Amino acid sequence: MRRPTIRPTLMLSSALVLGSALSALAQMPQDVTHFTLPNGLETVVIQDDRAPVVVQMVWYRIGAADEVPGKSGIAHYLEHLMFKGTDKLAPGELSKTVTANGGSDNAFTSWDYTAYFQRIASDRLPLVMGMEADRMANLKISDDDWMAERQVVLAERAQRVDSDPAALFAEEMNAIVYDNHPYGRPIIGWRNEIADLTRQDAIDWYDTHYSPNEAILVIAGDVTPEEARRLAEENYGPIPAKGEAEPRIRPQEPPKQTARRISMSDPRVAQPRMTRSVLATERNPGDQEQAAALTVLADLLGGSPQTSVLARELMLTGKALWAGASYDGLSLDPTEFTLSLVPPQGTEPAKAEAALDEVIVKFLKDGVDPGDLERVKTRIRATQVYAQDSAHARAYDYGQGLATGLSVEDVNDWPDILAAVTADDVMDAARDVLADGGGVTGWLTPEPPAEPAAKAAPPKSDPEPAKAEVQG
């Protein structure tokens, strides 16, 4: 998926349609406003006056997968440096001001985007917009700050990744799933490359990418669209775009011919666990059907610890302590469909894996149980309806969707597209991701397995799973 051209139009439309007829696409929800400022800043406003709070999010269409090879970690490092102040803001002042005003703030970096959030009483919206706009245009990276902050990032990597067998394992799984695409690099960066990042690298990154026409502003909460627009124009309007938005051209994956296995053992691992990942289509603008089928498939296989296929066949029969499936289509480029498994105490990993394989073969042969499909689709729809109650969750949907190349319409259409998934769609998707060669199976175990080549890795310390976003 490539980022669609930004449409500088103001759209306001009538009724929120959830779960409507198959062919009709959803209209813009009444409480959502979408416009683009003349400098290219795409803005989404979600009005929700049930509580006197507001969320501001700025999403930059730039992330770890846009980095130049050898400079891994620069996207996340710059996210840290974004708290270092401007001519008006002292280092750390933005967060301190938000907290002093009863709010909270956060930031995170993923492969496809870097995002900055504040949640605060709605009468303080002008304050946080002023500060966010200031650091979009006027970031200062002083000679005092950049080396110290690089140490902070290295310490973060040491704590979150290098001392955690599960995170190291996830990092290498990832490297092996992607032969060519930059999704194979860790968001936080490879240690040796983080250590070499310079102030100039950070300044170049900021100067090239932190521009209103590479950003999405989302305002959700107790604010009228007119007021939000006026504030957006006042605060962000004067910031000039830094030239044309950079195209997000990324090396794509070649087809794979080999089945791949990795193994790692570490005495700090409590229980053996398996992850199996294959590449899978992502949500694309105007083309979300296959991603919808994969979303339903993941839920059907592993969405519930009681009624999902893997739960019923493996967990309730004692063949696995845990078995799951996951898929998230919000990705600029093709992403992963993942199965995971924890064998019961005392069961050989290979035996548990064989049981999982049997269930998959049977599922591919028997197809979807219609009752299961109905239950899953109802659950997905219910989750979405509940999510409408959270202005923050809705803001996140639009921000992440737009940052990964979707349009506002695509985000609006998603519930209907999910509702239209059929049993045949699910089985087509299942054959795509479950019947093929080319997947990566990884085992993380306390003890080295008996197999010849699975040699033990040197011990490190303190387990916790890796994350797809690195919080700043």
Answer for which of 7, 96, 199, 250 binds a second copy (CB under 8 A) is: 250
256 vs 379, beta carbon nearer a second copy: 256
Residue 194 in contact with residue 154, Cβ under 8 Å? yes
Record the tokens describing residue 77, joined without a space.
């490092």
Q: How far apart, in whole angstroms, are the C-alpha atoms of residue 408 and residue 285? A: 10
Cα–Cα distance list, 180 to 7, 212, 395 (Å): 32, 30, 32
Rule CB under 8 A: choose which of 140, 260, 375, 381 binds a second copy. Answer: 260
Nearer to a second copy, 178 or 414 (CB): 178
Stretch in the footprint of a second copy (CB under 8 A) among 233-241, 367-375, 397-405, 435-443: 435-443
CA dihedral over 50, 379, 19, 430, signed as positive or negative:
positive
Q: Residue 450 gets which letter from DSSP?
A: S
Rounded-to-integer distance, Cα 211 and Cα 240, Å:
8
Instruction: Find the binder of a second copy among 76, 229, 273, 276 (CB under 8 A).
Output: 276
CB 425, min distance to a second copy, A? 23
Residue 165's nearest CA partner among 13, 310, 271, 291 is: 271
In the block, tokens 């799984």 appear at 173
Q: Which of 249, 270, 365, 370 binds a second copy (CB under 8 A)?
A: 249
The rounded distance, in Å, linking the Cα atoms of 357 and 142 is 55
The only residue of 353, 409, 410, 425 in contact with a second copy, by rule CB under 8 A: 353
Rank residues 237 and 251 by Cβ distance to a second copy and give the closer one.
Answer: 251
Which listed residue (424, 436, 447, 462) binds a second copy by CB under 8 A? 436
- Looking at the annotation, which residues are catalytic? 79
CB of 348 to a second copy, least distance (A): 12
Q: Which stretch binds a second copy (CB under 8 A): 9-17, 98-106, 255-263, 292-300?
A: 255-263
Shortest distance, position 75 Cβ to a second copy, whole Å: 15
Among 64, 128, 232, 264, binds a second copy (CB under 8 A): 264
d(CA 74, CA 77): 5
Per-residue b/e over 111-148, b at no fewer than 16 CB within 10 Å?
Answer: bbbbbbbbbbbbebbebbbbbbbbbbeebbbeeebbee
Judged by beta carbon, residue 88 or residue 455, the one nearer a second copy is: 455
**CB neighbours (10 Å) of residue 317?**
11
**Region of 99-107, 215-223, 256-264, 383-391 interacting with a second copy (CB under 8 A):** 256-264
Task: Assess 130 for contact with a second copy (CB under 8 A).
Answer: no
Structure-token pair, residue 387: 């999510």
Question: Locate tokens 């299961």: which residue?
Answer: 372
DSSP at 435: S
Q: Is residue 193 at the binding interface for a second copy, with CB under 8 A as the rule?
A: yes
Find the binder of a second copy among 254, 346, 370, 371 (CB under 8 A): 254
The torsion defined by the Cα of 92, 93, 95 and 96, in degrees rounded to 10, comes to: 110
Region 134-173 residues binding a second copy, contact defined as CB under 8 A: 165, 168-169, 172
Q: Would you count residue 346 as binding a second copy (CB under 8 A)?
A: no
Nearer to a second copy, 45 or 264 (CB): 264
Which 55-74 positions form the footprint of a second copy (CB under 8 A)? 69-70, 72
The answer to whether 367 contacts a second copy (rule: CB under 8 A) is no
Q: 401 near 4, Cβ under 8 Å?
A: no
Q: Decide: helix, strand or coil at residue 6.
A: coil
| Closer of 187 and 228 to a second copy (Cβ) | 187
Q: Is 247 in the site for a second copy (CB under 8 A)?
A: no
One residue of 7, 140, 160, 191 binding a second copy per CB under 8 A? 191
Of the chain, the end-to-end C-alpha distance in Å amounts to 27
Report the distance separating Cα 290 and Cα 429, nearest Å. Answer: 7
- Shortest distance, position 169 Cβ to a second copy, whole Å: 7
262 lines the binding site for a second copy (CB under 8 A): yes
Closest CA to 272 of 159, 160, 166, 163: 166
Pick 262 or 423: Cβ nearer a second copy = 262
Of the candidate residues 342, 439, 445, 472, the single one contacting a second copy (CB under 8 A): 439
**In whole angstroms, what is the distance from residue 245 CA to residue 254 CA?**
27
The residue assigned the tokens 């990597």 is 157
Binding site for a second copy (CB under 8 A): 69-70, 72, 165, 168-169, 172, 175-176, 179-180, 182, 184-185, 190-193, 249-252, 254, 256-264, 276, 350, 353-354, 356-357, 435-439, 441-442, 451-458
